[in-house]
Amino acid sequence: MIPVNSVLLVGHFPEIMQAEVDRRLTPIHHPDPQAPAPAGNFQAILIRSNTKLPEALVKQIPSIRMVATCGVGYDNLPLAYLQERGIKASNTPGVLNDAVCELAIGMMLALLRRIPEAQEYVKSTAWSKAPFRVTTTLAGKKVGIVGMGRIGQDLAKRLEPFKVEIAYSGPNKKSLPYDYYQNVHDLAKTCDILFLACPATPDTDKMITAEVLEALGPAGYLINIARGSVVDEDALLDALQHKKIAGAALDVYENEPNPNAAFLNLDNVLLTPHIGSATSETRIAMTNLAVDNLEAFFKQQTLPSEVNN
């Protein structure tokens, strides 16, 4: 059992997640993470991966021993500080793979076939004056995945029936039937479509540089379902504005929820508002896995998904 009022719920939780939290916990709400911590002997924090947990907030609560984040990415946590204080952290890997991969596939098809623009073409009656432009076929293309982890591997399996060749890059070569490139530049050079599915870390910060985009080339497409920080956005804007790549589909941005306005005026982008895991089934599963971690912590059991690095 989780002791009543021992969990601090930091930030905003959408209704569907809040309902799950309230079903299993009696937390104290702290909607503004920048506000001073409320009084109380909280032992754990529950937060979402889109909310940054300020180190200063954790410092104000000496009783904290555990932070559970709803999301597989944990770049929102002050991990070095948590580790220094021996505070455990958990995330929610795996349960969001289906939703994220489905969005990624949808973005890819919509980008290549220009589906949003095609719908607008019909709705605006432009079709009555001239046929819509021709686009490009996915079959036969080479698709690169940067970050062949849980999401990357699920994505590759979903891509196989589309008759594409698959390759990947990342720190470690895996026993997978796809070409491996240690270097993202070399992967981009060989690919028509480059998916980003790696975590936000100091190593991946602005990893997609002007040179990588140049290697992807004028017929190449970038699809980012990872984190905005992985891409040098100035370089991407320049590449899109000057047609150095064919297009990009972005679910994540450096500055959320206010992405660089220059993206909004481009006709070779497809933009979604960080909705990779935003299905009701997935959000419920993420919340429950986060609470499972809290429960295990309070029972002094092994956490189902502890963040260890």
Active-site residue numbers? 227, 256, 274
| Cα of 132 vs its chain's centroid, Å | 33
CA quadruple 298, 305, 197, 210: dihedral sign:
positive
* Spatial distance between the Cα atoms of 200 and 248, rounded to a whole number of angstroms: 19
Q: Is 96 in the site for ligand NAP (CB under 6 A)?
A: yes
Closest Cα partner for 38 from 28, 25, 52?
A: 28
Q: Is 148 in the site for ligand NAP (CB under 6 A)?
A: yes
Options 33, 144, 247, 276; binder of ligand NAP; rule CB under 6 A: 276
| Residue 121 or 254 with smaller CB distance to ligand NAP | 254
Range 157-176, binding ligand NAP (CB under 6 A): 169-172
For residue 70, the minimal CB distance to ligand NAP (Å) is 11
In angstroms, how far apart are the furthest CA atoms of the chain? Answer: 69
* Spatial distance between the Cα atoms of 140 and 152, rounded to a whole number of angstroms: 20
For residue 212, the minimal CB distance to ligand NAP (Å) is 11
- Is residue 75 within 8 A of residue 199, CB to CB? The reply is yes
Q: Is 149 in the site for ligand NAP (CB under 6 A)?
A: yes
Helix (H, G, I), strand (E, B) or coil at 306: strand
| Residue 2 or 70 with smaller CB distance to ligand NAP | 70
| Residue 61 or 200 with smaller CB distance to ligand NAP | 200
Q: Is 70 in the site for ligand NAP (CB under 6 A)?
A: no
Both ends of the chain: CA-CA distance in Å?
28
For residue 48, the minimal CB distance to ligand NAP (Å) is 11
Tell me the one-letter amino acid at 222.
Answer: L
Find residue 194's DSSP bridge partners. 144, 222
| Residue 57 or 99 with smaller CB distance to ligand NAP | 99
Q: Which two tokens stand for residue 171?
A: 């720190």
Q: Is 188 in the site for ligand NAP (CB under 6 A)?
A: no
Helix (H) or strand (E) holding 143: strand 142-146
Range 10-69, binding ligand NAP (CB under 6 A): none
For residue 278, the minimal CB distance to ligand NAP (Å) is 7
Q: Is 197 in the site for ligand NAP (CB under 6 A)?
A: yes
Task: Name the site residues for ligand NAP (rule: CB under 6 A).
Answer: 72-73, 93, 96, 100, 146-152, 169-172, 197-201, 203-204, 225-227, 251-252, 274, 276-277
